[in-house]
Amino acid sequence: MKISNRVQSLRGSATLAVTARAKALRAAGRDVIGFGAGEPDFDTPEPVKQAVADALRDGATKYAPTPGSPELREAVAARMREHNGIHCEASDVVVSVGAKHAAFEVVQCLVDPGDEVVVITPAWLSYRPMIELAGGTVVECGTSIADCFKTTPERLAACMTPRTAAVIVNSPGNPTGATYGRDELEALAMVVAAHPTAVLVSDEIYEELVYPEIDPTASAFSPGSLPALADRTVTLNGLSKSMAMTGWRIGWSVAPDGEGVVAKAMTRLQSQMTSGIPTFLMPAAIEALRLQPVESPRMREVFLGRARLVTELLSGIPRLELARPTGAFYAFPDISACLGLRSPGGRSIDSPAGFAEALLEEADVAVVPGEDFGEAARTNIRISFACGDEQIRTGIARIATWVDSLS
Ligand SMILES: Cc1ncc(COP(=O)(O)O)c(C=O)c1O
């Protein structure tokens, strides 16, 4: 069978590939430490699970409205109003199969062939394929470890052209853990505001994981709350990272453009893709939103401790350079000093992919190579610290020993 050109040229997710390889090695009896997966190791809070059991018992097994039940859309809108300062109504909300689905739909709805989308890189590796599938062109606004992986209004402005359809901002960011301050985000938003046709897509999936204890300026500010850009911002969020609900696949977009144009377009698209998320998940999502003010800060405290531990341990490895993570659960060290060296197992380390493969095969530690996160990520690896302290200590000790043995 012939596979379409569109899909033939699509790369699979490197993150999921590393996770699958680590799983396979573990199944074969190897003691692999996994720093690959971007998912919290906590379990979903019990009352959320109970809500699903109750909903199923009560017969919530039929089709649900495509953009989400009215109650869930209102619960999301209430959170976005109260927590994020975004003036929105339930009709501006579309609930989808994770924030990934929301991002895919937003790009499909905003981008035409020939349009440009500015992505601040290193960036989540799914943005590029989403944009390219829509026929758009990615314009990378590259950052470096020296800037703590943050861009400036001047550099963003230099990437904007009359063909810019959207700018994607993701703070706290995957894969770098970089988190902007409120002033910095406002300044970036003003650059977008100055381009009347550009839309700001603010991916706030890690908003609950910000560490002002590490960098006092780091903030979970939502640019969609700024009047200058309120009707031209699409905010993405969901329950995966903040409520340990990655497997539930619940995310959403909020686009208060005044007429519901984006929400209606996304609903139309979704009605031809997946329809609504499972009906019995709607009450559970409402329960998760109710618990979020208590549960997410509790998890954040644990991640803060891990962010400090990872920073301390990685900073002790002379051949790695690190910008300390100030949000999310990722560290993104630079491995330039290892490139061109040879591993104890005889592999030449010529790229992050080569580094990651050799590290996994020879030291049983899974990390994600930087290449797929953008041009600005070609000398980095991503370490996800969504795992326990013991695992972090053991895994980074293995990395330290292995990196030291490169010659
Ligand atoms: C920046 C970013 N946005 C969106 C997502 C997707 O989240 P979800 O699991 O809700 O689809 C991820 C997941 O890794 C992410 O890192």
Q: Quickly list DSSP for 269-319.
A: HHHTTT-SSPTTHHHHHHHHHHHHHHHHHHHHHHHHHHHHHHHHHHHT-TT
Q: Please give the pLDDT value at position 17.
A: 78
Query: Lowest-pLDDT range, 5-9, 86-90, 204-208, 297-301?
Result: 5-9
SS3 at position 250: coil
Which run of H or E residues covers position 354? helix 352-363
pLDDT (average), residues 180-209:
97
Cα-based distances in Å from 79 to 72, 84, 90, 114, 172: 11, 7, 11, 36, 19
Beta bridge mates, 117:
138, 166
What pTM was estimated for this model as a whole?
Answer: 0.97
Cα-based distances in Å from 209 to 173, 231, 328, 393: 10, 26, 5, 21
State which of 44, 100, 274 you would mutate to test the pocket of ligand 1, scoring each by most atoms of that ligand within 8 A of its C-beta. 100
Q: Please give the pLDDT value at position 242.
A: 95
CA–centroid distance, 174 to ligand 1, in Å, is 9
Q: How many residues does the chain have?
A: 407
Q: Please give the pLDDT value at position 360.
A: 94
d(CA 21, CA 36): 10
**Pair 268, 67: CB distance under 8 Å:** no
pLDDT tens, position by position, 334-345 = 999 999 999 999
Q: How confident is the model at residue 115 (pLDDT cuts 50, 70, 90)?
A: very high
Q: How confident is the model at residue 138 (pLDDT cuts 50, 70, 90)?
A: very high
Q: Please give the pLDDT value at position 295.
A: 97
CA–centroid distance, 225 to ligand 1, in Å, is 21
In percent, the amount of the chain with pLDDT more than 70 equals 100
CA–centroid distance, 2 to ligand 1, in Å, is 31
State which of 240, 246, 252 you would mutate to test the pocket of ligand 1, scoring each by most atoms of that ligand within 8 A of its C-beta. 240
pLDDT (average), residues 186-191:
98
CA angle 294, 296, 302 (to 5 degrees): 110
**Pair 166, 111: CB distance under 8 Å:** yes
pLDDT at residue 370 above 90?
Answer: yes
CA–centroid distance, 347 to ligand 1, in Å, is 33
CA–centroid distance, 201 to ligand 1, in Å, is 14
- Hey, what are 9's tokens? 């040229």
pLDDT (average), residues 80-93:
98
- Hey, what are 96's tokens? 């989808």
User: Ligand 1 atom closest to Cα of 102?
Assistant: 11
Q: Which amino acid residue places its CA nearest to atom 12 of ligand 1?
A: 100
CA–centroid distance, 214 to ligand 1, in Å, is 23
**Pair 233, 223: CB distance under 8 Å:** yes
Buried b (16+ CB within 10 A) or exposed e, 378-401: bbbbbbbbbbeeebbeebbbbbbe
CA–centroid distance, 99 to ligand 1, in Å, is 5
pLDDT tens, position by position, 4-36 = 999 998 887 777 777 888 889 999 999 999 999
User: Ligand 1 atom closest to Cα of 101?
Assistant: 11
CA–centroid distance, 334 to ligand 1, in Å, is 23
Q: Please give the pLDDT value at position 317.
A: 98
User: Ligand 1 atom closest to Cα of 38?
Assistant: 14
State which of 97, 124, 208 you would mutate to test the pocket of ligand 1, scoring each by most atoms of that ligand within 8 A of its C-beta. 124
Buried b (16+ CB within 10 A) or exposed e, 333-367: bbbeebbebebeeebebebbbbbbbbbbebbbbbb
Which residue type sits at 146? A
User: Ligand 1 atom closest to Cα of 328?
Assistant: 16
Q: Please give the pLDDT value at position 11.
A: 81
CA–centroid distance, 366 to ligand 1, in Å, is 19
- Match 């402005």 to its residue by tokens: 157
Cα-based distances in Å from 306 to 118, 205, 332, 361: 32, 19, 14, 25
pLDDT tens, position by position, 25-69 = 999 999 999 999 889 999 999 999 999 999 999 999 999 999 999
Domains and CATH numbers, the chain: 5-43+294-404 (3.90.1150.10), 62-292 (3.40.640.10)
pLDDT (average), residues 193-199:
96
The phi and psi torsions of 212 (rounded to 5 degrees) equal -65, -15
Q: Please give the pLDDT value at position 14.
A: 74
- Hey, what are 209's tokens? 């994981």
Query: Lowest-pLDDT range, 10-19, 60-69, 94-103, 293-302?
Result: 10-19
Q: Which amino acid residue places its CA nearest to atom 7 of ligand 1?
A: 99
DSSP letter at 321? B
Determine how many CB atoms are found less than 10 A away from the CB of residue 240.
22
Q: How confident is the model at residue 377 (pLDDT cuts 50, 70, 90)?
A: very high
Buried b (16+ CB within 10 A) or exposed e, 278-305: bbbbbbbbbbbbebbeebbeebbebbbe
pLDDT at residue 203 above 90?
Answer: yes
- Where does ligand 1 bind, in terms of residues with CB under 6 Å? 38, 98-100, 103, 124, 170, 174, 203, 205, 238, 240, 246, 251
Side-chain half-sphere exposure of 37, counting CA atoms within 13 A: 18
User: Ligand 1 atom closest to Cα of 238?
Assistant: 10
CA–centroid distance, 100 to ligand 1, in Å, is 5
Q: Please give the pLDDT value at position 4.
A: 95
